[in-house]
A and B are shown apart, each in its own frame.
Chain A
Amino acid sequence: MANFMTRRRLTNRLMIGLSGVAALIGMTLLALILGYTLIHGLSYINLDFLTNAYKPVGEAGGGMRNEIIGTLILVGLGSLIAIPIGLMTGLFLADFGSPRMASAFRFVADVLSGVPSIVVGVFAFAIVVKPMHSYSAFSGGIALAIIMIPIIARTAEEALRLVPISQREAALALGITRWRSVLGVVIPGAMTGIITGIMLGVARIAGETAPLLFTALGNNFGFNGLLKPIGALPLQIYHFALSPFKDQQQQAWAGAFLLIVLVLVVSIIVRWLSRGKKY
């Protein structure tokens, strides 16, 4: 009997210890990747890198100015397309759809968010690049928007649902119509959550590379109109990572530093905005 007790206790200790070890491994991995990129990247970053355009190997002082601007343009374009569609879908899911329709489309949004981003890239290639016979910033924006829509829709839905029913009722009791109450009371009440969702979407698409490979394509010479290829930070990191030249590899680390700082800052703001709320 005593033996049995110890074995149970030992198993308990062992398994609890193992799960602690697992958690430790998970967090160590993050620390490794994050720490290495931040420290390594920081040592290669300088003002030239931020303000200069790409220069061929051998010329000193090449930077990623054009790619940084390109990423901002692509993310802006993606957001411009995705925010209205995502927000309206979120409103439908939370407020206007019948429960059955809402849960069906909630499912569709969830499944859409699981579609691999490279498939979205191929799709954008087929519907924009191929008919227009040109890689373009526009096609990149479309691809990013498709990735962003389900994220915004679902977070907006959750945020809208958190607006207390008493507020909705109070608005309706004043005699205004439902859509006015949604625009004037419900959406402002959920604004923090909606912005959180948008930022989550931005953080996600800012680092996307695969869908840009054959839509935005990349271009070292700066913005040249929405219908022409455009560079992006993640794309350039990818190309430089595979480069045999030390200088370009170092630029890849510096670019990674920028990208990771961007994503971290956005994620921390999101965390701060949504503190205390459950998404």
Chain B
Amino acid sequence: MNLDRELKIKADTKLVRRSIGDVLFSGLTGIFTLLTGAILVALATVLAIQAWPSIEKFGVSFFTSSVWDPVKEVFGAMPAVFGTLASSVLALVIAVPISLGTAIFLSELAPKWLRGPGSFVIEMLAAIPSVIIGLWGIFVMVPALRPVQVWLGAHLGSLPFFTGNPYIGFDMLAAALILAIMIIPIITTVSRDAIRAVPVAQKESMLALGATRWETLSRVVLPYCRSSLIGATILGLGRALGETMAVTMVIGNADNISLSLFSSATTIASKIASQFGEASGLGLSSLIELALILLAVSLIVNVIARLLVWKLTSVKAGRV
């Protein structure tokens, strides 16, 4: 009897021995897993159905109009969409260099005794509830920023970014800074894991050729995990797009579209948070359409990010 045949018989007996309990139990886990998947599908479907009156009424003009008038029942999402994108991109610009530096420090440069506690500290930052960061934003960060804003307004006020009233402090700048604080942990931890996954041999060979540490980092380590690092950034973007409480508390919540960092603004999430309670009818439907847009954007962003991050990190995940 050849080996293949022997193995096949063994496999068959294995199948026969599968008890009813096994089938039931594995079926049960399958059903619960389907339920998890169904939640995601239900999220999209239910929001689409609830948003339908608004989708039907406003169509594409929902994105291009900046009127939000519950009395006349005319709703447009442009300021919220603009504010979401602007605050998230600004937050990324601030957070990415800090996160990348921290990740490099924690994975390559820091002495061994500092790596564990250092990582712990960054992870704790991720665990602080958004509402507390917002509270800190209102009472500590915004007052501290005001003098800086006044100075910027006085000296660079001719630039479009620093026009307007620098005294309020509840504006795009505050929102971007607070978002940056909130996404630093996620970008840092994912980047750190990616950098750690770079094979030691690659680094050693570069060092053996006489390269400095920075040369090794910039020409071997970072290029090696480039896609994961981009993934980490996009993951941070996804978090920033959907962040609600802290932003709502410091952004000023006004339907402005302005280049100025000193201008109060709004985001999709903060608009939903601040207006959902009072909305009804078409207004409610429009807010749900905003939620649907946010869901769609964050799904796309997350899918891209996960694919990029998985590409590298799933290889090292050796299993039993």
Contact = CB atoms under 8 A, between A and B. Distances in A.
Interface of A: 8-9, 11-12, 14-16, 18-23, 25-27, 29-30, 32-34, 36-37, 84-86, 88-89, 91-93, 95-97, 105, 107-112, 114-120, 122-123, 125-127, 130, 146, 149-150, 153, 161-165, 177-180, 182, 203-204, 206-210, 213-214, 234, 237-238, 241-242, 249, 252-253, 256, 259-260, 263-264, 267, 271
8 contacts: A22-B100, A27-B121, A112-B39, A114-B239, A115-B299, A122-B288, A163-B320, A164-B320
B33 A89 contact: yes
B33 A97 contact: yes
Given A92-B29, A110-B302, A127-B46, A180 B21 contact: yes
A242 B40 CA distance: 33
B320 A30 contact: no
Interface of B: 18-19, 21-22, 24-26, 28-33, 35-37, 39-40, 42-43, 46-47, 50, 97-102, 104-106, 109-110, 118, 120-125, 127-136, 138-140, 181, 184, 188, 212-215, 217-218, 235, 238-239, 241-245, 249, 269, 272-273, 276-277, 287-288, 291, 294-295, 298-299, 301-303, 305-306, 319-320
Contacts of B139: 241, 249, 253
Contacts of A214: 276-277
A161 B249 contact: no
Closest A-B pairs by Cβ, 6 of them: A116-B242, A22-B101, A207-B129, A88-B32, A179-B25, A114-B302
B135 A111 contact: no
A116 B193 CA distance: 24
Given A179-B25, A260-B129, 7 more contacts: A89-B29, A92-B32, A105-B36, A115-B40, A117-B242, A118-B242, A122-B288
Contacts of B25: 96, 178-179, 182
B132 A37 contact: yes
A135 to B, nearest CB: 9
B316 to A, nearest CB: 10
B46 A20 contact: no
Contacts of A182: 25
Contacts, number: 278
A89 B136 contact: no
A252 B42 CA distance: 36
B269 A19 contact: no
B302 A12 contact: no
A114 B47 contact: no
A161 B133 CA distance: 35
A167 to B, nearest CB: 10
Main secondary structure of the interface of A (DSSP, over half): helix
Contact of B215 (A8, A18, A29, A153): A8
A23 B102 contact: yes
A263 B129 contact: yes
A105 B181 contact: no
Nearest to A205: B129
Given A37-B132, A263-B128, A123 B302 contact: no
B132 A237 contact: yes
Nearest to B243: A116
A249 to B, nearest CB: 7
A8 B212 contact: yes
Nearest to B134: A241
A231 to B, nearest CB: 14
A19 B269 CA distance: 33
A177 B21 contact: yes
A161 B102 CA distance: 30
Contacts of B47: 119, 122-123, 126
Nearest to A116: B242
A89 B32 contact: yes
A259 B40 contact: no
A120 B125 CA distance: 23
A35 to B, nearest CB: 10
B244 A118 contact: yes
Nearest to B49: A126
A177 B22 contact: yes
A33 B133 contact: yes
A93 B30 CA distance: 9
A258 B302 CA distance: 32
A136 to B, nearest CB: 15
Nearest to A235: B131
A256 B140 CA distance: 14
A19 B108 CA distance: 10
Nearest to A88: B32
Contacts of A112: 36, 39-40
A11 B276 CA distance: 52
Given A116-B243, A118-B269, A34 B214 contact: no
Given A23-B106, A105-B36, A111-B40, A33 B98 contact: no
Contacts of A260: 128-129, 132
A115 B22 contact: no
Contact of B213 (A16, A84, A161): A16
A116 B241 contact: yes
A127 to B, nearest CB: 6
B36 A108 contact: yes
Contacts of B213: 12, 16
A20 B102 CA distance: 7
